[in-house]
Chains A and B, each alone.
Chain A
Amino acid sequence: MSDYIDLATVGKVIGFAIVAGAGLPLVFALGLRSLSVGTAEGDEQSFQVTKNPAALVGAVVCFLLVAAAIVYAVYLITHKS
């Protein structure tokens, strides 16, 4: 069977795919969630949302992380293929 399938490599592909393929959407989602954290004041017609600064920083960090991963992916595509 080992002539046909290299389990170690398949394992690495699965590991990378989970971290990058499911992990990055999660980080992006957490960024979106942080972005929507805030306190609304007023009634339904006119209200003001005060953003939470810490949450805003968290959101920026999440989005930067995703952006860095995309840059790295482009690097991989252009240098490894």
Chain B
Amino acid sequence: MTEMIILVLVVVTALAFDFTNGFHDTGNAMATSIATGALKPKIAVALSAVLNVVGAFLSIAVAAAIAKDLVDQSVVTLPLIFCGLVGGITWNLLTWLLGLPSSSSHALIGGLIGAVIAAVGMHGVLWTGVASKVVIPAVLSPVIAGSVAALGTWLVYRSTRRVSARNRQDGFRWGQVASASLVSLAHGTNDAQKTMGVIFLALIAHGSVKGSDDVPVWVILACGLAIGLGTYIGGWRVIRTLGKGLVEIESPQGMAAEAASAAVILASSHFGYSLSTTHVATGSILGSGVGKPGAAVRWGVAGRMVVAWLLTLPSAAVVGAVTYGVAHLIGGAAGVGVVFVGMLALAGFMAYRARATLVNADNVNEEWEGGVAPASASVHAGV
């Protein structure tokens, strides 16, 4: 019975993580299309949501492993997976509140590493794997994506100098929608699959399925719907920072940025590297600002993001470790239940705080005035 309660809480928490993954990452694909008016905000998030669900169903190889090359698989238990997920969700919600794009994969990995350290100590973590599969790609991928996007932006502006501004804007909007759709589809196949793997592993640990079985259809269905629903809710705060905060973006830049993102994500997954979509997309958008002569790039906003990226792993790890300590101290289903209730309370508090500076489909494109909160939101809330 105790095992069953823990299993249910792990599955629910994994789906909650998948949901935050969806709304945190909507902006990676759609922020530029929303900012340039290529798509209406609601249409953009709906399109991205559908493509994420389609992508989830196309995921073929679901690995029944969690962070396989990063933590010692023999120490993984249900409460440990649970606390790793709580660490990931907490960091996703905090960065969403601050309107900062940050990697959901890094948040989950960080939470797991923290829980592993709390459970068995430093030797449970495969540090070489962490360096080669997480840290180095995280440093390289935004630089590569940004350089490609800068080159692409420079090329398209240079080659369309004689095209009228209107034709150029309309033409590139089409290209933008196509390239952003590819990013959404790739996101669905990559990210929904991670949660499927987590739930599958939990089911194996519980003994409900065997490792040689296929992933149950309800797992694929639930994960696809969770990430799609999250995407549709739209992480408007993150979308606003990516589309309006980082650079003033026009449709040719948007197409160059999304094409660079799609190319880098596809190339690296083809060669066996899994990258953070967030790092790639942010690098590309920044690059599209660098590549257009005279475009304004807000380096202060970019700096804040980089700080958030550096803090992602350690912060999520601290939450993972502390919650594991609490769950372990109380023990059993009660321990996991207490952490679950604590996480719900924290999530509720952050959602409440977000209402004071509400960002939604109506004000997401307002002029950037130094922060994620649009001028109209503060007036509305009386702050």
Contact = CB atoms under 8 A, between A and B. Distances in A.
B268 interface: yes
Given A4-B132, A73-B262, A80-B269, A32 B172 contact: yes
A28 B60 CA distance: 32
B162 A33 contact: yes
Contacts of B128: 3-4
Contacts, number: 132
Contacts of B163: 32-33, 36
Majority secondary structure of chain B interface residues (helix, strand, loop or mixed):
helix
Contact of B156 (A9, A20, A26, A81): A26
B159 A74 contact: no
A5 interface: yes
Interface residues of A, number: 34
Majority secondary structure of chain A interface residues (helix, strand, loop or mixed):
helix
A24 B277 CA distance: 20
B334 interface: no
Given A16-B270, A22-B259, 20 more contacts: A16-B266, A17-B267, A21-B148, A21-B152, A21-B260, A21-B261, A22-B151, A25-B255, A26-B152, A26-B155, A28-B156, A32-B171, A33-B159, A36-B162, A66-B175, A70-B178, A77-B185, A77-B186, A81-B60, A81-B186
Interface of B: 55, 58-61, 128, 131-132, 136, 140, 144-145, 148-149, 151-153, 155-156, 159-160, 162-164, 167-168, 171-172, 175, 178, 182, 185-186, 189-190, 193, 252, 255-256, 259-264, 266-273
18 contacts: A9-B273, A10-B140, A13-B264, A16-B266, A17-B267, A20-B262, A21-B261, A21-B264, A25-B152, A25-B156, A28-B171, A32-B171, A33-B163, A73-B182, A73-B266, A77-B55, A81-B58, A81-B193
